[in-house]
Amino acid sequence: MRRIWLATIAVLLSAANGGSQEPLPGWRPADEAANARAGRYVEREMFVPVPNAMPQGLDVLEVSIEMPGRHPLAILTHGTAVKPDERLRVTPWAQLNQARWFARRGYLVLVVVRKGYGKSAGIEDGRSGGCGGRGSFSDAGEASAEDLRGVIRWGMKLPEVDPETVVSVGVSTGGFAQVALAADPPRGLKAAISFAGGRGSDGKEHNCDLDALVGAFHSFGKGAARHGQVPMLWIYSQNDHFFPPAMAAQFDAAYRKGGGAEEFVMAPPDGEDGHHLYSHPDAWSATVTEFLRAHNLLPLGDTVLPPPMAPNIPAPMGLAERGVEAWRRYLTSAPYRAFAVSEGGGWGYSAGAFSQQIANDEALERCGKSNAGRGAKCAVVAATPGAK
């Protein structure tokens, strides 16, 4: 039986996504016929039982668009913050945009918070190996992969899932988990995608034990060769400060020397730190689409279903064009969320935060740092309905 942690959220494309949310004042329904043609987004958070994650299991977010028949399964997972206290605030809602990218292409998506992060039970996988841990980098990668295998086994039993087709995706330590997963793939795994995969970095282009990490990639390459080479896509960025190009090239060479094979992509610089490329689906959409197409993993072909439509709620008074655009994005963003404004037209918002208080604080901070908000008092004018 599926254990739902939050209330089930079945959100029409015309409605704002979120937790158990009610329309804000001024909301007006969009065209019902258009909604019926578009389909229905399902976004719900739950605990999934897996080995060694007692008592409640792993925190998992399901994202899909209701359609007839069974759908391939996509598994998404996170990285590891440098600061330990931030690891306790990991939420699957932070990957809502990436999950919607796959859902719009026909997948049922499960975003997995691994053991010891956020609300998930168990011991953090990072403690099990590498950089002073109780084991090796290979041990740590395998611990992460075992969480993914557990959720995959659970997801395969869902009546709306095609158990023969699974794609797994992760970033940073979650990307490294994909390499471990492909070295001993579960039934149905058709492809794995690693964004900036690795472990042991301080975010300043230094690794605590680079030789050991390279050795782990080599070992996983041996496993991949032994188990038949699940197609893999590795994406790094030219300005990644955690795993810079020279380091990523060593990972690639070691993996291939071990017998593994993957499609290696060095993407252009992305923002101030390309390690966060995964956070910007527009930057990787074409690359991932081509990879999935090459392996016949686009269940809807070239069709991409429409994104959620924002409810018709007017923007706060005094916002310039960029602020109004941010408001529209905010209306379909993940809980916990908050939007703050100042009298001078400053604004800032937060979405996918671990708690409402954190969302409020982040929105106020960003409003205060905005050009129009400097020196002005900011106030939260919208938040996750029903949240405390």
Please tell me whether residues 119 and 252 are part of one structural domain.
Answer: yes
- pLDDT over threshold 60, residue 24: no
Distances (CA, A) of 36 to 63, 99, 311: 18, 22, 16
- pLDDT over threshold 50, residue 1: no
Neighbours of 73 (CB within 10 A): 28
3-class secondary-structure state, position 284: helix
Please tell me whether residues 201 and 258 are part of one structural domain.
Answer: yes
Please tell me whether residues 280 and 375 are part of one structural domain.
Answer: no
Give me the pLDDT at residue 9, please: 30
Of the pLDDT bands very low, low, confident and very high (cuts 50, 70, 90), residue 127 is: low
Q: How many domains does the chain have?
A: 2
Please tell me whether residues 279 and 325 are part of one structural domain.
Answer: no
Q: Which residue has the higher pLDDT, 375 or 323?
A: 323
In a domain, 271, yes or no: yes
The overall average pLDDT reported for the chain is: 88
Please tell me whether residues 83 and 174 are part of one structural domain.
Answer: yes
pLDDT single digits (tens) 268-298:
999 999 999 999 999 999 999 999 999 999 9
In a domain, 301, yes or no: no
In a domain, 300, yes or no: no
Of the pLDDT bands very low, low, confident and very high (cuts 50, 70, 90), residue 11 is: very low
- Token pair listed for 43: 């976004």
Q: Which residue has the higher pLDDT, 265 or 23?
A: 265
Please tell me whether residues 159 and 275 are part of one structural domain.
Answer: yes
Domain of residue 353 covers 321-383
Q: How far apart are the first and last CA of the chain?
A: 29
Please tell me whether residues 197 and 325 are part of one structural domain.
Answer: no
CA–CA dist 106, 71 (Å, integer): 7
pLDDT single digits (tens) 35-82:
444 568 999 999 999 988 888 999 999 999 999 999 999 999 999 988
In a domain, 283, yes or no: yes
3-class secondary-structure state, position 263: strand
In a domain, 304, yes or no: no
Give me the pLDDT at residue 21, please: 30
CATH code for the domain of 122: 3.40.50.1820
Of the pLDDT bands very low, low, confident and very high (cuts 50, 70, 90), residue 353 is: very high
For residue 193, which of 113, 127, 128, 287 has the smallest C-alpha distance? Answer: 287
pLDDT single digits (tens) 201-236:
999 999 999 999 999 999 999 999 999 999 999 999
Please tell me whether residues 216 and 333 are part of one structural domain.
Answer: no
